[in-house]
């Protein structure tokens, strides 16, 4: 049985004081449970302070991006090793705000993925289609391309440290959540594609999170679909009560 994994993406929000308060509240409200994993991904400057606030709790820490190089003249970037040293176990790669907002390509994301895994980070690897792509019935073509190109050189062993986040771009931050049918269909497609790329066993075990306007009132339905193994949560992760309500919705029924 796959566990559920609920991760909060705080994006570029919060003051230091707010980040520490939110982390402490999430830590307090989360108990260790191998069936229900919880993580938060604050902005880079707050990582060490949030790591401190999470100390002794079951909440895991992630960065929101990293460079593929180990170090050097890359102004504004952080390396996988820096994230690890700041206390992260995870990094989000390929979020739509970086793919579509900053032009990150499948090839670049594949380099980042391999570098993050080689350094010892676990990766939440985001994929998802634009509204125009869904309306043109090309969702599966897009997901196929993002997985095929994104996972070049990735082995079943690597995949033990990779979570896929299916995030339809039209649902991120819009309040328009995918219907249970749309989510299940896309997740089943993603799992099938992983089976064809990396084998049935990897596909059976890989966690596939849904992301896009997950809220306390829609979380339970989404989180208990057969191929949905958790959620990547943006807006609703910025308040401890809404985030913890989503976490609780992931508890085994």
Instruction: Give the nearer residue to ligand PEP in terms of CB position, either 34 or 101.
Output: 101
| Helix, strand, coil percentages in the chain from 3-state DSSP, rounded to 5 | 45, 15, 40
Q: Are strands 90-93 and 122-127 parallel, antiparallel or unpaired?
A: parallel
**Smallest distance from ligand PEP to CB 211, Å:** 4
Q: Are strands 4-9 and 36-41 parallel, antiparallel or unpaired?
A: parallel
| Annotation says 129 is catalytic | no
Instruction: Give the nearer residue to ligand PEP in terms of CB position, either 80 or 234.
Output: 234
Query: Mind spelling out the 3-state secondary structure of 177-246?
Result: CCCHHHHHHHHHHHHHHHHHHHCHHHHHHCCEEEECCCCHHHHHHHHCCCCCCEEEECHHHCCHHHHHHH
Judged by CB under 6 A, the chain residues 207 through 236 that form the site for ligand PEP are: 211-214, 232-236
**Smallest distance from ligand PEP to CB 8, Å:** 9
Q: Are 2 and 205 in contact (CB under 8 A)?
A: yes
**Smallest distance from ligand PEP to CB 245, Å:** 13
Q: What is d(CA 190, CA 167) in angstroms, rounded to the nearest whole number?
A: 12
Binding mask 8-47 for ligand PEP (x = CB under 6 A): -x--------------------------------------
Active-site residue, selected from the candidate residues 67, 95, 104, 187: 95
| Annotation says 95 is catalytic | yes
Judged by CB under 6 A, the chain residues 110 through 139 that form the site for ligand PEP are: none
Active-site residue, selected from the candidate residues 104, 133, 167, 187: 167
Work out whether 3 is an interface residue with ligand PEP (CB under 6 A).
no
Q: What is d(CA 237, CA 247) in angstroms, rounded to the nearest whole number?
A: 10
Query: Which residues share a beta bridge with 91?
Result: 63, 123
Instruction: Give the nearer residue to ligand PEP in terms of CB position, either 86 or 127.
Output: 127
Interface region with ligand PEP, contact rule CB under 6 A, candidates 43-51, 113-121, 191-199, 206-214: 206-214
Binding mask 145-174 for ligand PEP (x = CB under 6 A): ----------------------x----xx-
Q: What is d(CA 203, CA 120) in angstroms, rounded to the nearest whole number?
A: 21
Judged by CB under 6 A, the chain residues 63 through 102 that form the site for ligand PEP are: none
List, in order, residues 6 or more apart from 104 with CB less than 8 Å away. Answer: 94, 98
Catalytic residues: 95, 167
Residues near ligand PEP (CB under 6 A) are 9, 167, 172-173, 211-214, 232-236
């Amino acid at each position: 049985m796959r566990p559920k994994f609920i991760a909060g993406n705080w994006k570029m929000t919060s003051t230091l004081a707010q980040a520490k308060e939110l982390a402490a509240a999430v830590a307090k409200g989360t108990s260790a449970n191998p069936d229900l994993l919880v993580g938060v991904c604050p902005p880079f400057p707050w990582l060490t302070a949030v790591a401190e606030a999470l100390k002794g709790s079951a909440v895991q820490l992630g960065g929101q991006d990293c460079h593929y190089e180990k170090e050097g003249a890359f102004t504004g970037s952080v390396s996988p090793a820096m994230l690890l040293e700041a206390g992260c176990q995870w990094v989000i790669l390929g979020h739509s705000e970086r793919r579509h907002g900053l032009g990150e390509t499948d090839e670049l994301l594949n380099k980042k993925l391999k570098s993050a895994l080689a350094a010892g980070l676990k990766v939440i690897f985001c994929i998802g289609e634009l509204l125009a792509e869904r309306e043109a019935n090309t969702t599966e073509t897009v997901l196929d391309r993002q997985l095929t190109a994104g996972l070049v050189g990735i082995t079943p062993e690597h995949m033990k440290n990779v979570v896929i986040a299916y995030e339809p771009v039209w649902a991120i931050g819009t309040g328009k959540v995918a219907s249970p049918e749309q989510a299940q269909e896309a997740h089943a497609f993603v799992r099938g594609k992983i089976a064809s790329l990396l084998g049935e066993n990897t596909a059976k075990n890989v966690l596939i999170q849904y992301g896009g306007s997950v809220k306390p009132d829609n979380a339970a339905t989404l989180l208990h679909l057969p191929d949905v193994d958790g959620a990547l949560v943006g807006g609703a992760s910025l308040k401890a009560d809404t985030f913890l309500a989503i976490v609780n919705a992931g508890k085994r029924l």
